[in-house]
């Protein structure tokens, strides 16, 4: 069978691009899902999208290939091309163009029987023998286009009429190129903006990005399903890959909010788990599928409970419960007179903590969180300025003190106990 660039199952290509081209730690020999030929087919497909944006390096395990993109030169996310490749047959594409040729004029309506009659009388030239379309196939295709917003369906009595919906050429967004361009790179479903730009909307490319998180592109389908479920107050069944157990797990949750990390761009879904009151947190890049279930009456109550629990979240933990004991964190920080930027940073990054001023150069930071271990990197960033540290979680405090001690020993400037009480 000849190689085809077109894909049908995006979840497969998502996993492949993530493992081999984003993380960049797998080689051809590590591809054990299918045959080596499958690897070559996937590789050629991705190269057809990203040719000049791929690089490789040789390791003892073989050659590894990865995506290499200079954000200063790339104004738009090239990974959107993966979504713009669609699988179809000769029959699919023929039916598509015939239907829209019949419905080419806005406001002109046809019944299903009229459409079938026109196909049998006016478009026989378009059918490579022995191609034909039955009533059921055409009805299902029109229903699909209705769900996509391409076809308008109107019922008058027992008669159903089909017509074209307004196209982009009749929607006044021609002067919104800068807005759409920004949304395509910074929005949570930027593929929508990228697709609009493909319709000929002028893009002046005003924007460059210091932190351009393009790899969340692969999660767009997952994110869209979660947004739809939240809008309709529905539960979902998600399949997630467990890194610890190295296998897939299934969860039934009521999605409540999407959190986005400002440090890594990584996204998480927070939802009520099953019939419990606990809130589970799942990484979107580990989700493989989302199945939308029935409406849940307790959405608003669960959202309010999440708001209360989030008041004590420093970062993203695995699960939140009203029975979880809070960790108390308190440290005293001293900053020089000419270090106003440190004060500004402490105020800006305190999140759900509070600051008590002791004197002009000393303040005490206090907070209560579910997982104080998430604060370790942030607390470390104030090394040499912390004069007192107290934490209810003794193990986390010990880790921080040991880190300080190792640093002091490395620089030969005394011990941690000389600086922090």
Provide the 3-class DSSP secondary structure of residue 270: strand
> Average pLDDT for residues 254-270, to the nearest whole number?
91
Task: Please tell me whether residue 398 adopts helix, strand or coil conformation.
Answer: helix
**Mean pLDDT calculated for residue range 73-98:** 80
Report the distance separating Cα 34 and Cα 331, nearest Å.
54
| pLDDT single digits (tens) 100-128 | 888 887 568 899 999 988 888 887 776 66
Provide mean pLDDT across the span 77-88.
77
Q: Which residues contact 78 (CB under 8 A, 6 or more apart)?
A: 49, 50, 53, 69, 214
**What average pLDDT does the segment 67-94 reach?**
77
CB atoms within 10 A of CB 231: 8
pLDDT at 210: 79
> Is the model more confident about 167 or about 345?
345
Q: Model confidence over 209-224: pLDDT tens digits?
A: 878 888 888 888 899 9
Tokens 């020089």 found at: 336
Instruction: Name the burial class of residue 418, with classes exposed (0-12), middle (13-18) and buried (19+) by CB atoms within 10 angstroms of its CB.
Output: exposed
Report the pLDDT averaged over residues 288-293. Answer: 92
What is residue 172's predicted lDDT score, i.e. its pLDDT?
65
Q: What is the pLDDT of residues 331-375, one digit of tens each?
A: 999 988 888 899 999 999 999 999 999 998 999 999 999 999 999
What is the average per-residue pLDDT within 388-401? Answer: 94
Structure tokens at 262: 């400002």
Which of 117-126, 226-235, 401-410 shows the lowest per-residue confidence on average (mean pLDDT)? 117-126
- pLDDT above 90: percentage of residues in the chain: 33
Q: How confident is the model at residue 5 (pLDDT cuts 50, 70, 90)?
A: very low
The mean-pLDDT minimum among 22-31, 135-144, 334-343 falls in: 22-31
pTM, to two decimals: 0.76
Preceding amide of 30 cis, omega within 30:
no
Name the pLDDT band for 268 (thresholds 50, 70, 90): very high
Higher pLDDT, 136 or 36: 136
* Model pLDDT, residue 57: 74
pLDDT surpasses 90 at 238: yes
pLDDT band at 1 (very low <50, low <70, confident <90, very high): very low
Mean pLDDT within 147-164: 88
Which range in 60-69, 97-106, 275-284 is most confidently predicted, on average pLDDT? Answer: 275-284
pLDDT grade, residue 253 (50/70/90)? very high
What mean pLDDT, rounded, does the chain reach?
Answer: 83
């Amino acid at each position: 069978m000849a190689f085809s660039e077109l894909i049908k199952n995006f979840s497969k290509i998502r996993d492949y691009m993530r493992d081999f081209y984003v993380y960049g730690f797998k080689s051809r020999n590590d591809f054990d899902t299918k045959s080596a030929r499958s690897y070559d087919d996937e590789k050629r497909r991705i190269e057809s999208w990203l040719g000049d944006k791929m690089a490789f390096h040789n390791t003892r395990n073989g050659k590894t290939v990865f995506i290499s993109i200079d954000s200063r030169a790339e104004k738009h996310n090239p990974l959107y091309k993966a979504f713009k490749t669609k699988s179809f047959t000769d029959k699919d594409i023929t039916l598509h163009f015939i239907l829209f040729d019949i419905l080419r004029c806005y406001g002109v309506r046809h019944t299903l029987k009229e459409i079938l009659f026109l196909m049998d009388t006016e478009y026989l030239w378009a059918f490579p023998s022995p191609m034909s379309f039955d009533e059921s196939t055409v009805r299902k295709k029109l229903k699909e286009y209705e769900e996509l917003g391409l076809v308008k369906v109107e019922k008058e009595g027992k008669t159903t009429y089909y017509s074209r919906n307004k196209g982009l050429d009749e929607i006044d967004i021609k002067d919104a190129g800068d807005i759409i361009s920004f949304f395509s790179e910074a929005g949570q479903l930027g593929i929508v903006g990228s697709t609009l730009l493909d319709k000929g909307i002028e893009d002046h490319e005003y924007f460059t990005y210091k932190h351009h998180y393009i790899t969340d592109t692969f999660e767009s389908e997952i994110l869209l399903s979660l947004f739809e479920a939240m809008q309709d107050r529905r539960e979902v069944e998600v399949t997630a890959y467990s890194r610890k157990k190295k296998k897939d797990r299934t969860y039934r949750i009521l999605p409540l909010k999407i959190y986005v990390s400002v440090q890594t761009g990584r996204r998480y879904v927070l939802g009520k788990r099953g019939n419990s009151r606990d809130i589970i947190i799942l990484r979107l890049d580990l989700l493989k599928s989302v199945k939308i279930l029935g409406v849940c009456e307790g959405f608003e109550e669960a959202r309010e409970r999440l708001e209360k629990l989030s008041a004590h979240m420093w970062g993203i933990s695995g699960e939140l419960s009203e029975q979880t004991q809070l960790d108390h964190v308190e440290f005293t920080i001293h900053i020089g007179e000419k270090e106003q930027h440190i004060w500004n940073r402490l105020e800006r990054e305190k999140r759900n903590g509070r600051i008590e001023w002791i004197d002009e150069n000393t303040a005490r930071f206090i907070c209560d969180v579910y997982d104080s271990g998430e604060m370790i990197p942030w607390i470390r960033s104030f090394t040499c300025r912390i004069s007192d540290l107290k934490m209810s979680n003794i193990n986390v405090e010990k880790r921080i003190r040991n880190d300080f001690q190792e640093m002091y020993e490395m620089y030969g400037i005394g011990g941690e106990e000389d600086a922090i009480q």
